[in-house]
Structure 1
Amino acid sequence: MLRRHRQSARLTLEQLAGASGVSARTLSDMERGRSKGPQHRTVTALADALGLDEADRKQLVELAREGRLRDRWTRPIGLCELPRSVDDFTGRTAELAWTNELVHAGDAPGVAGVGLITGSAGLGKTTLAVRVAHALRPGFPDGVFFLDLFGMSPQPLPVDEALGMLLRALGIADQQIPGDVAERASLYRSLLHDRRVLVVLDNATSEDQVRPLLPGGGAGKALVTSRRLLAGLEGVRRLSLGPLPLLEAAELLTGILKDDGASGEGSAIRQLAQLCGGLPLALRIAGNRLVSRPGWDAADLAARLMNEERRLDQLSAGDLKVATAFGLSYEQLTDSTRRVFRRLAPVPGWDFDAALAAVVGGTSIDGAWDALDELVDLGLLQDSTSGRYRFHDLVRLFARDRLQKEETTAERDALTVTMTSWLLRMATTAGRLFDPAYIHSDRPDADLAGLSSPEDADHWLRVNVDNWLGALRMAASDGRHSAVLDCAESMHWFSDRWMHAPHWHEVFTLGAEVAAALGDPARQATQLNLLAWVHLMPRNDPETTLRYTAQAMDLATRSGAATQIAWAHHTAGGALRRLGRLDEATAAETQAAATFKANGDVSAYCQCLGALGTCLRDAGRYTEALEQYLDLLALLNEDQPGITPSGAALIRAIALARVGECLGSLGQRTEAITKLTEAISLMEQARLPVPQAHSLETLAALLSDEGRTDESRHAHARAAEVYEAIGDTEASNRCRDLANAAP
C-alpha cells in the first residue's frame, strides 16, 4: 500500500524520505515487507508527506498497527529486554556520535555494523551502550536486545546458552532451536541478516564467546562491551572509553544532585569530581552517597576522599563499590601478573616502563611485557605509543590496597629498597655518562644495559624524572646518604643540558644535606656550588648565588678541595657579571680558569674561557670578546681529551651564538645571522632550550634591522614557542606580540 501511494504521488524513495524525514532505508524495508509494523509517528509522517485523504490515512495507520500487534505476538515479550537508561546521563558527545556513525556506516555494502566498546571497570561502558540502544530503537523496528555475557564472572555465559536466549528473543520456539552450536549460530545470523535488529552484548570475556553472536552482515547490528581489548576480533569498529573530562564529571555530579542544592557548591563539586578521577562509577557512588545523606554536602565528602588510605572505602554506596569493580578484573589475572600489578603501586612517578616493572615484579623483561599486556588488556593499566604505562589514580589505590593486604611488612620494605636502589643506580649511571671524568669508565652493569650512550641516558633521565627523583627522596628519608650523594653529584654535567627543569634545587639541596650528615665538607661544597648554579641560571638570582658560593668557598678552603674552590670562583663570576661588577667577575673567572687548566679539566676550563668572553662583551669590548670566542672554538675543534662529545657540543653551540652576537654588535649583521642560525640549530640538536630562545630573539632583532620582516617574525614566533615550553610565559608573550605586530 505504501508503494502504491508513493507511485501515485510520483515520488521516488529519496523524495519521500526528504519530505517525511523518514530514512530511505526504512521506507525500502517497509515497501519490501521487512518492516511490517512501523511506529505510529513514522506512519503519520508519511501520510502527511503523501497528502493522503482521511480514509487512506486511516487505512495506512491501521495496517501499521496490525503489523505491530502481529510482531508482538510472534515473539516472546521480555526476553533480552534493554535495562533502563539513566536520566542524568552526561557527556560522551563524541562517543554517541561514533555509535551513530557506526550504525549508518553499516548500511554500506560489505560492512558489518559491529561496534566494540572497551575500557576498564567503572568507565560506564554498559551505561553508554544502553543509552545508545534506547536512542537508536526507532531505527530497529524488529527489536533491540540486551544480553549480559557475565565476562567477569568465574563462569561466563556459555555460547550455546547465549545463542539459545537470543534465538528465543527473536521468536524461535524451543523445539526449533538446533542443539549444535554451529547450527544455532547459522540460524541466528540468517535471522539478523534480514531483520533490522540491534543486539547489545554486554560484558564479553573473550573472542571465542563473542564471535558466534555477531551478525554476518545485512540489516542486523551489534554493540559489544568488554573490559578486555578482544584484540583478536576482526571486522569490528573499536571505541576505547576513557574517564570523563573534569567539566563533564562535575556536570554528572550536578545532575545527580540536582534536587539537593548542588548549585551553590561549584568548587566542592569540581574537587569531588577530580578526586573521583572522572570515573563514572565513582562519580555515581559519590553522588548517591550525598543524595542519601541530606546532612552531608559535597565539601564534607571531598574532605573524606582527600585521605588516600580511605578513599576506596569511602567510594561505596549500597552494593556499588569501586573496589569491587576493580576486584573482578584483578581476579582474572594470573598470579604472576597480580604480583607485578600490586608491586607497581609504590612507583613514585606518574608512569613507568617494562624495565622498572621487571625490577619491582621480580621477573624477566619478557615476563614484565607479558604482565603489562595482560593488565592493559583488562583495563587495569593505560599504555602509550612510547612504551610507558600508567595507572588511573583509583586503580593505583586499589593496587596499593592489594599490596598492603597480600604482602608482609618485610616484603614491602624489601620492595621499596629494591626499587629505589635500582632507580638511583640507573640515574647515577645515566648522569655520569655526561661527566668528562667518566669518559673511559666501565660500561653499566647488565641490568642497566639500556644506558649505552649519552642519548639513551638523556632520554631515560627526562622520561623517568618523577621516578628517580621520588627514589632520591625516599632514600634520603631512609638515611641512605651515600646513594643520595652519588646520584646528586652525577647530575652536575647533565643539569647543564636541562637547566630549565624545576627539580634541580631539590636534588642539590638533598645532596648538600646528606653530605653534611656524612661530615664530608668537600662534597658538601660541591653541592653548594651546584645550588649556586641553580640560582644563577634557571632562577636568575645572583645575590643568592653569591651567598651559596661563599659557603662553598669556605668549606672547600677548609678541606683543601681546590677544584671546588675553582667552581665557586666560576659561578660567583657569573653572578658578579650579572650584577654589573665586571672587573670582579673577570678576576674570579681568570682564577678559576687557571686552576682548571692546571688540573687538566678541559670542560671546566672551556666554560671559564667562554665566561671571560662574555665579560668582555658586556663591557662593550666586542672585538676582544669575538677573539676570545673564536679561540675557544678553535680549542674545541682540536678534539681535546677529557671532554665528552656532548659537553663539547654544548660549549660549541653557546660560543657560536656569542660569536654571532659580537658580530651583530660590530655591524656585521649578515655574518652574525649566519652564525646565530648555525648556533640555534646546534642548540636544538643538543636540547638547550634556554640559550636557544635567547639566540632566537637576538636573531629576530638582526633580521628586522636587515629589513627581513617575515623572517624576523618567524624567529620571534619560534622563540615564543621555546619560551612557552620552558614555562617562561612573560618572555613567550613578548615574543608572540612581536611576531604578530603590524608592519
Structure 2
Amino acid sequence: MLVGLVTNAVSESEWPGWLGWLQRHGWFSFALLGGAMVGLAVLLAALSESGAPERRAAPTPQPEEGAVPPGAALVLRSLPRDTTAFTDRTAELEALVRSVRNSQESGEALPVHVIDGMPGVGKTTFAVHAGHVLSERFPDGQLFVNLNGHTTGRTPVQATEALASLLAATGVPAQRIPVGDDLGAVTEARAAMWRSQLANKKALLILDNASSYRQLEPLLPGGSDCLVLVTSRKRLAAYEEVVLPVEALPAEHAVDLFVRLSGRSAESLDRAVLGQLVELCGYLPLGVSLLAARLRHRPSWSAEDLRARLVTAGDRLGELRAGERAVAATFSLSYQDLTPERQHFFRCLGLYPGTELDAFSGAALGSVSVAAAREGLDTLYDAHLIEEHPGSRFRLHDLLRDYARGLADEGGSMTPVHAVQRVCSYYLAALAVANRHIARNGASTPNSPDGAAQVETPPIDSRTAALGWLEDERANVLACIRRANDLALHELVIHMAAAMAPFLRQAGPWDQAVGLHRTAAEAARHTGDRRALANALAELGVVRRFMAAYPEAIEALNEAVTEYEAVGEKRGKADALNQVGIVWYMTADNDASAQAQTEALALYREVGDRLGQANALADLGMVRRQTSRFDTAVAAQTEALAIYRELGDQYGEANSLRDLGIVHCLLGEYQLAGQRHREAFDIYQELDDRVHQAYALNELGVVRRLTGDPTGAREAHTQALEYFTELGERFGRTNSVRHLGVLDRTDGNVTEAIRLLDDALGSYRDLGSRGGEAAALGELGAARGVAGERDGAVELFRRSLDILRELGDRCGEAEVLNHWGTLLHSSGDWAVARGLFEQALGLARDIRCPLEEARALEGIGRCDWTARERARGEGALREARDVYRRLGIGGAADGVERLIASQAE
C-alpha cells in the first residue's frame, strides 16, 4: 500500500472502493500507514523474543584454578528472609549504619564493607539483617549473591558467571550479555556493562561467601552510591575497604538467643545452666542455634539434661549438631582449603596447653623455624582459623581448639606428650635468658635440660624486656606446667617451676606461686628428688612470707632446712635459714630471728657465698634495729651495703639503704633518713619492684610527718596503700593504714583515726604480727585519749607495753609511755604523768632516741609547770625545745617556745 501511494503520482487509473479515499488523501494516508507499520514491527519483535528458547550467556569457561567447572551464581533480586537466629549486634550494626550515613551525607563514595569473622560467628546472618535495616536507603534494588567460596561440593563461582547472573537479574536480555572465547575479555565486557547498569543508582549488593578478592573485584559497581557488603571465611584485602569484625556473642546475648530458639519460656530455663551451655558453644551463634534446636526437638529434655550430655560426651563438636548442620562442618571447609603443611601446623596448635601463642612457641610446637611458623600463623589468620591479638600474638577459639585437637588425635602425627615436651623445652630456654636479666647478681639460676638450648628464643636483651615477656607468657607457662603435671611429666614440672620462681617472687600474684610450688613439691616427691623437694619448699616458704601467712611459711622453710641437711646442701640450708629468720623478724620473735641469721651467716661464709653473707647481715641488722640496738644495726647494715655494692646487687643495696633510713629516722637524723629512703625508692623503681617501692614510700611518709609535711606524708602513704592493695601484700597494706590513722589523729580527725587504727589492729592480729599489734594498740590508745575515752585508752596502753617489753622494743615502749603521760596530764593527773615521762626519758636516752627524749622532756616540763615548779619546768622545756630544733621539728619547737613565753608573762 505504501508502494502504491508512492507510485500514485505517475498513475492515471483510479483505485477502487475505500482505496480511492487513500488515493485522494495520499500524504495523510502515507503517514498513517507508516505509523501502523512501526507499531506492528515492535509487537512482532516482542512476541518473537518471548517465544524463542533461551540462549547461553557465554561458552563454558575454564575454572581459574583448572579444577572442575564452576556453577552459576545464585542471585536473588531481593534480600533473603531476615532470620530469627539474629541476635543483638548493636555495636556492629551501629558502626555500619554510621559509616553508610556519613558517606551519603558527605557525598563521598561508599566503600566496600567487609564483614570479618571466624566460621560460625554469623557473618551472613549479620549481612542479611543489615541489608534489611539499610534497604530504604537503597531504593533502586537489593541483590544477594552467593559466590560459593566455601560451600561443600560446590566450586567457587567465577566472576564471569556471577556477572552474567547479576546482569540477567537486573533485566539485561540474555542475548545482550557479552560472550566469547577470551575469558578475560568477556569478564571485562560484562563488568563494564554491570557498572553501566548501576550507574547513578542507589543499590545494595551483598556478595556472600567470597573466596578471594580476585573473585569479587569485577563485581564491584562503578558508581559511588551503591553499597557492597562482602562476607568471606578468609580475610580479603580490598581497596578503600571498611572492615567490620563480627566476633563471638557476649554471654548475655548468647543466652537470649538460646532462649528464643529453644522454644521454651525463659521462666522454665535455669539461667545459670544456660550460661554454661552457651559457654560450651564458645558463644558462637551457629553453635548456640544448633544446641537450642536439640532442646526444641526434645520436649522431654531439660536444659540441665542437655548440659550434662554435652559435658559427659567429651566431644562438644559432635554434640553441636542439628540434622545435617554442624559446627565442625563449618570449620572443615576452611581447614580443607589449607595446604598439607598448613593443615599439619594447625593440628599441632590444637595441642598447645596455653591460651595465646606467638611465632616462637608456634615454631616449637610445629618443629619448624620461627619464620615458617610466622607464615603459618598468618595463613591461619587469613583463613579465620585463628585470632590475632596485640603484639603479634594469636589465639584459637575454644571450639576451633577442640576441632584442631580432634584432628591431631585422628592423624596421630604428634601426641600430647610430645607437644608439651616441645613447648616446655622452648619455655625453659626462653626463661633461662629472661632470668639472667631479673635474677640478683650472685644468685644461682635454675639449670635447663640439655634439649632446651636447641630452640629459637625471642630477643630478650634487658630487664624491661624480660619482665614484659614474662608478664605476657605467665598464663601460658603456668598452663604448660599444669598440663605437664596432668601427663605425669614430673621432671618438666620441677624445671619449669624453678625457672618461673624468680619472676613470681617479684611480680606475683602469690596465690599462683603457691599453687605452682606445691605442684613442684609433689612432683619431686614422685621422683624421690630430695634436693628438688627442698628447693620447692623453700620457694613456697618465701611466697607464704610475702602473703603474711607466717605459720605456713615457717613450716615450709623448716621442712626445707631438713631436706637440705639430708642431702648435704649447705648453701640451700643457709638460704632457708635466712628466709625463716625473716619470718621470725616479721612476727617479732627477735631471739629466734637473730639465731637463724647468725647460723645462716656462718654457712654462707663457709661456702664463700658473698651475696648470702650480705643478705644475712642485712636481715640481722633489721633484728638489731627492732630491739633498739641501733649502733650494731648500723654496723651490720653498713657491711651488708658494702658487699651489695661490690657485687652490683641493686636489690640488696636498696634494701640496706631503706633499713638504714629507718635507723637514721629513729636517731632523729631526718634529712639523712629521707635521703636514704629516696635512694632506695629510685632503685626499686628502676627494678620495677612495686612491693618494695611501697615499703620505701611508707618510710618516707613517716619522715615527712615528723618533719612537718603532713600533705606529703599522706600522699606517700596513700600511694603505698594502693600498691599493697593491688599486689595483695597484707602486712604492708596494714602498715599504710596505721600510718594514715596516725596522720588523721595529728590532723584532729579523731573519728577517722580510730576507724583506721581499729582496722590495722585487727589485721595485725590476723597476721600474727606482735610488733604491729603493739604499735597499733599504742596509736589507738592515743586517738581514744584525744576522743575523751580515758579508761579505754589506758587499757590499750597497758596491752601495748606488755607486748613491747616482751619483744624488747624499748623505742616503742618510750613512745607509748609518752602517749600515756600526755593523756594523764591533760586529764589533771599530772603527778602520775610525770612518772611516765621520766620512764620514757630514761629509755630514750639509753637507746639514743632523741624524738622520744624531747617528747618526755616536754611532758616533764608541763607537769612541773602545772605543779608550780616554774624553774625546774622551764629548764626541761628549754631542753626539749633545743632537741626539737636540733631534729628540725620546727612546729614542736615553736609550740614549746610559745608555752615558755606565755608563762613568763
Structure-to-structure mapping, 1:390-405, within 5 angstroms: 390-405=395-410
Q: Which runs of structure 2 are paired with 1:197-236 in the superposition (5 Å)?
A: 197-230=203-236, 232-236=237-241
Gaps in structure 1 of 5+ consecutive residues: 1-76
More moved, 601-610 vs 128-137:
601-610
State the distance in 1 between where 2:215 and 2:705 align. 68
Offset of residue 729 of structure 1 = 9.5
- Give the C-alpha shift of residue 577 in structure 1: 1.2
For normalisation by structure 2, the TM-score amounts to 0.66
Is 1:128–2:136 an aligned residue pair?
Answer: no
Cα distance per residue 1:237-284 (max 9 Å; x no partner): 111221111122222223324643455421112222222222111111
- Tell me by how many angstroms 1:457 deviates: 4.7
Distance 1:169 1:666 in 2: 94
Q: Distance in 1 between matches of 2:162 and 2:319?
A: 37
For residue 503 of structure 1, give the secondary structure of its aligned residue in structure 2. helix
Contact preservation (8 Å) 2:560, 2:573 = yes
Distance 1:519 1:445 in 2: 26
Q: Does the 8 A contact of 2:420 with 2:484 survive in 1?
A: no
The answer to which of 458-467 and 435-444 deviates more is 435-444
Superposed, 1:505-520 pairs within 5 Å as 505-520=514-529
Asked if 1:194 corresponds to 2:191, the answer is: no
Aligned with 2:228: secondary structure? strand
Deviation at 1:125, TM superposition (A): 1.0
Letter in 2 for 1:98: A
Work out whether residues 116 and 224 of structure 1, in 8 Å CA contact, stay in contact via their aligned partners in 2. yes
Provide the residue aligned with 1:85 in structure 2: 82
Please say if residues 613 and 629 of structure 1, whose CA atoms lie closer than 8 Å, have aligned partners that are also in contact. Answer: yes
Change (3 A) 1:238 1:481: closer
Q: Secondary structure at the match of 1:352?
A: coil
Distance 1:219 1:481, change over 3 A: closer
Matched ranges for 1:262-277 at <5 A: 262=267, 264-277=269-282
Aligned equivalents of 2:124, 2:698: Cα separation in 1: 54
Corresponding residue of 2:344: 339
Unaligned runs of 5+ in 2: 1-73, 180-185, 750-905
Instruction: List aligned pairs for 1:537-686, cutoff 5 A.
Output: 537=546, 539-621=547-629, 625-626=633-634, 628-638=636-646, 640=647, 648-667=649-668, 672-686=673-687
Deviations 1:59-90, CA, capped at 9 Å, x for gaps: xxxxxxxxxxxxxxxxxx98342111124632
Larger mean Cα displacement after TM superposition, 202-211 or 481-490: 481-490
Q: Secondary structure at the residue paired with 1:563?
A: helix
Shift of 1:483: 4.3
| Residue 327 of structure 1: how far off its partner (Å) | 0.8
Greater shift in the superposed pair: 591-600 or 371-380: 591-600
Range that drifts further, 463-472 or 441-450: 441-450
Tell me: CA distance 1:503–1:183, structure 2 relative to 1, closer, same or farther (3 Å): same
Task: Give, in whole Å, the separation in 1 of the partners of 2:628 and 2:391.
Answer: 48
Pair 1:364-2:362 in alignment: no
The residue aligned with 1:148 is: 146
Q: Distance in 1 between matches of 2:654 and 2:550?
A: 24
Residues 420-459 of structure 1: matches in 2 within 5 Å?
420-427=424-431, 430-431=434-435, 434=439, 436=442, 445-450=453-458, 453=461, 455=463, 457-459=466-468
CA deviations 1:4-48 (Å, max 9, x no partner) are xxxxxxxxxxxxxxxxxxxxxxxxxxxxxxxxxxxxxxxxxxxxx
What is the percent sequence identity of the aligned residues?
30
Query: Contact 1:427–1:468 (CA<8 Å) still a contact in 2?
Result: no
The corresponding residue for 2:855 is: none
Pick closer, same or farther for the CA change 1:322–1:519 going to 2, 3 Å: closer
Tell whether the 8 Å contact from 1:720 to 1:732 is kept in structure 2 after alignment.
Answer: yes
2:328 pairs with 1:328: no
Q: CA deviation at 1:103?
A: 1.1
User: 2: distance between equivalents of 1:714 and 1:223?
Assistant: 55
How well do the aligned residues superpose, as a CA RMSD in angstroms? Answer: 3.5
Q: Which amino acid in structure 1 is aligned with residue 125 of structure 2?
A: T
2:264 is aligned with 1:280: no
1:534 aligned to 543, 546, 569, which one?
Answer: 543
In 2: Cα distance, 1:191 partner to 1:733 partner? 77
Partner of 1:159: 159
- Tell me the distance in 2 between the aligned counterparts of 1:580 and 1:734: 15
- CA deviations over 1:488-522 (Å, ceiling 9, x no partner): 44455444333434333343334433444444434
In 1, are the aligned partners of 2:110 and 2:225 still within 8 Å (CA)?
A: no
Contact 1:432 1:491 in 2 (8 A): no
Q: Distance in 1 between matches of 2:549 and 2:416?
A: 43
**SS of the residue 1:106 aligns to:** helix
Which residue of 179, 183, 192 maps to 2:189? 183
Q: Which amino acid aligns with 1:649?
A: Q
Specify the code of the residue in structure 2 equivalent to 1:468.
V
**Is 2:419 the counterpart of 1:418?**
no
Distance 1:286 1:707 in 2: 69
Worse-matched range after superposition: 655-664 or 581-590? 655-664
Distance, in Å, in 1 between the alignment partners of 2:735 and 2:200 is 66
Deviates more, 1:558-567 or 1:315-324: 558-567
Partner of 2:91: 94
Pick which of 187-196 and 656-665 moved more: 656-665
For 2:655, the aligned partner's letter is I
SS state of the match for residue 614, structure 2?
helix
Q: How far off is 1:122 after superposition?
A: 0.9
Distance 1:99 1:79, change over 3 A: same
Structure 1, 730-739 or 186-195: larger mean CA deviation: 730-739
On the 8 A contact 1:497/1:650 being kept in 2, the answer is no
Q: Could you say which residue in structure 1 is the equivalent of 2:862?
A: none
Distance in 1 (alpha carbons) for counterparts of 2:302 and 2:729: 40
Q: CA deviation at 1:605?
A: 2.3
Task: Return the alpha-carbon distance in structure 1 between the equivalents of residues 216 and 706 of structure 2.
Answer: 69
Letter in 2 for 1:635: I
Higher relative contact order at CA 8 Å, sep ≥6: structure 1 or structure 2?
1
Structure 2 residue identity aligned to 1:150: N
Indicate the residue corresponding to 1:69 in structure 2: none
CA contact under 8 A between 1:113 and 1:217: conserved in structure 2? Answer: no
SS in 1 for 2:115: strand
C-alpha displacement of 1:393: 0.7
TM-score, length of structure 1 as denominator length: 0.80
Pairing of 1:69-80 with structure 2 (within 5 A): 79-80=76-77
Q: Call closer, same or farther: CA 1:338–1:134 in 2, change over 3 Å.
A: same
More displaced 10-residue stretch of structure 1: 517-526 or 102-111: 517-526
Equivalent in the alignment of 1:28? none
